[in-house]
Structure 1
Amino acid sequence: MAQNLKKTNPVTREQRLEAYQPLSGMVLPRFAGISTFMRLPHLSPTQAPGEIDIAILGIPFDGATTNRPGARLGPRQVREASSLMRQVNYGTLVGPYDLCACADVGDVPINPIDVVDTIRRIEAEISYLHQGGVTPLSIGGDHIISYPILRALASKGPLGMIHIDAHSDTGDTFFGGQKLTHGTPFRRAIEDGVLDPKRTVQIGIRGTMYSADERQWALDQGIRIIDMEEVVEKGIPYAITEARRVVGMEPAYFTFDIDSIDPAFAPGTGTPEIGGFTSREALQLVRGFRHLNLIGADMVEVSPPLDQSGNTALVGASIAFELLCLLAEARSERIGKDAQLSVV
């Protein structure tokens, strides 16, 4: 237990991997100990560059939510639920902690009553991690958090994106001109030039809309929408193949909204839509995106007050572990390619 909680200063990659391992349930039962994402060591964000490869961080903000709140409490309950995650992915056999040094770097110090200030704070912290060579896996919070993350990560040009959601989140304004809501992040990101719409794919979109413009604007920009009807008709393997074609092998981001999953499996979210993915289908879908050039990811919109069973947080923690596996594998493969290039 002690080796997982003390601060270390490893000098080799092997030592870093050994230092940043989850606390095993065989050492301390999973119901015991201080709660961190995946039972990983806790590290200050300022200590992360040069020390770890992947930072898991909470962004407890729902001030851009337009209807049912509660996602600000998501990171805390997902941390708790993530104690049920073990070390190796059963479906892919990926062991993320054997590939990358990972740690929980706490929560971004958001401003719960100021959206603009919170966006600045998120962008600043993600920028610091990114510039220090650390890959971020963020746990929200409502979906506005993806906007400043994309701004922070797109320092070398606009990113592609895999977006799994019930909603396109490409609306324009809400309530008389408000442009920064959980329904607008990707329109803002495209307008800012940090998200490449022609390398963006949205999977599982369904439900009602305030306006047809939400969908039409996205299509006009070149976003590939694989709505739920198309997924049902052609199948998840088709959706995976099509999404991989769109995103390609250039740097890309992965965002997963928990409301993409049917409320029968994940009711604790602010904007549930019936007819969504089962939790099993969600695992199959996410696992289909191995070996892409992913440089960051998030899982958003878990609202604990709307699900007293805690099952939504468990689903969210499970998806977060799947995303961690994707990021660890992608980062490890980049390191391998860089090493080969340096030899040549």
Structure 2
Amino acid sequence: MKNEEKSPVQPVSGKIVPRYAGPSTFARLPEIRDVTSCDIALLGIPFDSGTSYRPGARFGPQAIRQASRHLRTQYHPAYDTEPFAELQVADAGDIACNPFNIEEAVGEIQTAATDLLGKVGSIISLGGDHTIALPLLRAVNHFHGPVALVHFDAHLDTWDTYFGAPYTHGTPFRRAAEEKLFLDHASIHVGIRGPLY
């Protein structure tokens, strides 16, 4: 989907504001609260309560935004493109979700993603443990039905339960398969080196 109404708002130039200053958004893009004029919205999901080993994915959105300050907006000759020149991309901020109740957080993520997808063509999520795949697939399914899925991971994330819990980082694709959220004949797991979890 191309923004035909006007030229997309570009990230703040490092020639105008030093890269260490300015908005704390992805690539220093403008923070646009009315995302209906956007083609793509970036959505932070600072959630890692579903992980069993190493927490920290909750800080992913913040770290990605910080690292993205170094992205430049100039023309890229090898790819014959200029990032952000064709589509309006905006940072929609972070979802506020319950860090102490995984099932409630899954619902909050699904609701927020569904609401955002109802306003923009596409979303790109930042951060979160693998638990977030399920509510995101549910949100996409609401508008598009089952989709082809390409899952890059060392594990399948298809356990039935983990320590008795149905919603964890090791179970999202089991739930998604049960709910028929993706097309099993057109989907693939890439990089698998471990067991179901």
TM-score (norm 1): 0.53
Does structure 1 retain, via aligned residues, the 8 Å contact 2:152–2:189?
yes
Code of the residue aligned with 1:13 in structure 2: it is E
**Candidates 56, 64, 74, aligned match of 1:78:** 64
User: More helix by proportion, 1 or 2?
Assistant: 1
Counterparts in 2 of 1:168 and 1:93: CA distance versus 1, 3 Å = farther
Alpha-carbon distance, 1:93 to partner: 3.4
Cα-to-partner distance string for 1:27-59 (whole Å, 9 max, x where unaligned) = 212112231111101122xx212x111000100
Runs of 5+ consecutive residues of structure 1 not aligned to the other structure: 1-11, 216-344
Q: Count how many residue pairs are aligned between Structure 1 and Structure 2.
A: 193
Aligned residue for 1:57? 43
SS of aligned partner of 1:160: coil
Contact 2:138 2:181 in 1 (8 A): yes
Return the alpha-carbon distance in structure 1 between the equivalents of residues 78 and 28 of structure 2. Answer: 21
Could you tell me whether the CA contact under 8 Å between 1:65 and 1:142 is conserved in 2? yes
Fraction of identical pairs, as percent: 41
Preserved CA contact (<8 Å) 1:122 1:145? yes
Confirm or deny that 1:142 pairs with 2:134.
Answer: no
Q: 1:90 & 1:165 partners in 2: Cα distance? A: 31
Amino acid at match of 2:6: Q
Task: Tell me the CA shift for residue 186 of structure 1.
Answer: 1.0
2:138 partner amino acid: R
- Counterpart of 1:174? 162
Cα RMSD of the aligned pairs, angstroms, is 1.8
Equivalent residue, structure 2, for 1:249: none
What runs of 5+ residues in structure 2 fail to find an aligned partner? none
Cα gap change, 1:162/1:95 in structure 2, threshold over 3 Å: closer, same or farther? farther
Max Rg structure: 1
- CA shift at 1:193, angstroms? 1.3
Distance of 1:178 and 1:158 partners within structure 2: 25
TM-score using structure 2 length: 0.90
Judge conservation of contact 1:16–1:52 (CA < 8 Å) in 2: no
SS across alignment from 1:105: strand
Question: What does the per-residue CA deviation read over 1:158-197, in whole Å, with 9 as the maximum and x for residues that have no partner?
Answer: 111111112211222111x211111111111111111112
Find the counterpart in structure 1 of residue 29 from structure 2.
40
2:71 partner amino acid: M
Q: Which has the higher contact order (CA 8 A, sep 6+)?
A: 2
Is 1:158 the counterpart of 2:151 in the alignment? no
What does 1:1-344 align with in structure 2 at a 5 Å threshold?
13-17=4-8, 20-44=9-33, 47-49=34-36, 51-87=37-73, 88=75, 91-155=78-142, 156-175=144-163, 177-206=164-193, 208-209=194-195, 214=196
